[in-house]
Amino acid sequence: MEAEIRTIGDKVDAGRRLSEEDALALYRSRDLVSVGEMADIANRRKNGDRVYFIVNRHINHTNICVNRCQFCAFSRTKGEPLAYTMTMDEVLRRADEARAQKATELHIVGGLHPDLPFDFFLVLLRTLRERYPEMHLQAFTAVEIDYFSKIAGLPLDEVIRMMKEAGLGSLPGGGAEIFAPEIRNRICPEKISGDRWLEVMEAVHASGLRSNATMLYGHVETLESRVDHLRRLRELQDRTGGFQSFIPLAFHPKNTQIAKGYTTGLEDLLALAVGRLYLDNFAHVKSFWIMVGPKLAQVSLHFGVNDIDGTVVEERITHAAGAQAGQEMTVSELVTMIRQAGRVPVERDTLYNVVREWPECQS
Ligand code: V47
Ligand code: SF4
């Protein structure tokens, strides 16, 4: 084992908090097995052998977006070919399918549409909550919430209060990208700043709602900017405790404005393991199998990961950018994947309550 990694390992064993230098050394390390083992220890201390998944359905209601981030292959400008906005009926058809599959969560994110009024989203939430009270609505990134506040001309707190009242259950972690302005201005110059993303999340947590946090890596960021991103997430989590899970998102370059190759397996596993080790105040680290592929997602269960997200069914954002994984996994596939890794599959709801456990051979 590299000497520096051994010292970090001692800190992990003693339950001591890692520094930014430690995180940087871990990202730079090529001793993948040692880093993975440390992340596995840190994870198992919190979560034991349990690995969570969720029966959910993603709905990307519109790809029309005024931001047009450089890394986004999903978005279109209004009027362009392939631009779409789902009607309420189209959303409801997907939600009906989700109900038929016994989904417990609808995960709804979309572009920043220039014409849809704030009221449209309140009606959407209310309609879904009334028709599907059994499904948790995890919807709208911090970027969308900020946009609603702008188009409605209402303060952030008020927007969050109204959305919560209409049925919003929690926020996904998208839109975080990389906080460092010098990187952010290159990859998504129109997007809200990292400071604002954190401010929105702080307000969301203050309202009593939980959220996730992501980090987009594998584009033009530096390792230092990744560490800065993690540091800021850890600081906010120290203050609010409102983040449920950390999800590193591997950049997919196809059809984007950023000329880069795909991330490698080593980068993907390190991104997950370092997240687990540095973010000692996050209970869950999620490997989104759509992004890293089901095979690597399975291996990552030995690298600090305790959640592989869900059944998903339809995913447009990463697939527009060249994702090779399918868009749907059945419960039985998820259970098998977790069991084969020697872990205990647990179906969770959005807030990590247990829906069903799969101890030995009862599928
Ligand atoms: O914010 C966009 C990312 C995010 C690309 O909270 C890309 O549980 C890779 O946040 N290559 C939206 N990534 C998706 C998201 C998410 C996904 C799954 C689970 C959760 C959760 C959240 O997708 C965007 C952006 O960071 N993204 N384009 C791309 N080319
Ligand atoms: Fe719009 Fe989100 Fe795509 Fe950026 S990443 S262009 S904000 S849909």
pLDDT at 325: 80
Give the residue whose CA is nearest to atom 8 of ligand 2. Answer: 111
**Over residues 199-209, mean pLDDT:** 98
Question: What stretch of H or E contains 226?
Answer: helix 223-240
User: What stretches of 48-136 show up as alpha helix (H) in DSSP?
Assistant: 88-100, 118-131
Among 67, 249, 263, name the best residue to mutate to test ligand 1's pocket (greatest count of ligand atoms within 8 A of Cβ). 249
Question: What stretch of H or E contains 246?
Answer: strand 243-250
Q: What is the DSSP letter of 258?
A: -
| Residue 314 reports pLDDT greater than 80 | yes
pTM over 0.85: yes
Minimal CA–CA distance to 345: which of 105, 103, 49? 49
| Tens digit of each residue's pLDDT (9 = 90 or more) over 228-285 | 999 999 999 999 999 999 999 999 999 999 999 999 999 999 999 999 999 999 999 9
Query: If you measure from the C-alpha of residue 205 to the centroid of ligand 1, how many angstroms do you get, rounded to a whole number?
Result: 20
Minimal CA–CA distance to 58: which of 324, 244, 311? 311
Give the residue whose CA is nearest to atom 13 of ligand 1. Answer: 251
The response to whether residue 72 sits with its C-beta less than 6 Å from ligand 1 reads: yes
- Taking a C-beta distance cutoff of 8 angstroms, is the pair 56, 103 a contact? yes
Give the position of tokens 């647990």: 346
pLDDT above 90: percentage of residues in the chain: 90
Among 317, 324, 351, name the best residue to mutate to test ligand 1's pocket (greatest count of ligand atoms within 8 A of Cβ). 317
Atom of ligand 1 nearest to the CA of 212: 6
Q: How far apart are CA 301 and CA 75, in angstroms?
A: 32
| Tens digit of each residue's pLDDT (9 = 90 or more) over 83-124 | 999 999 999 999 999 999 999 999 999 999 999 999 999 999
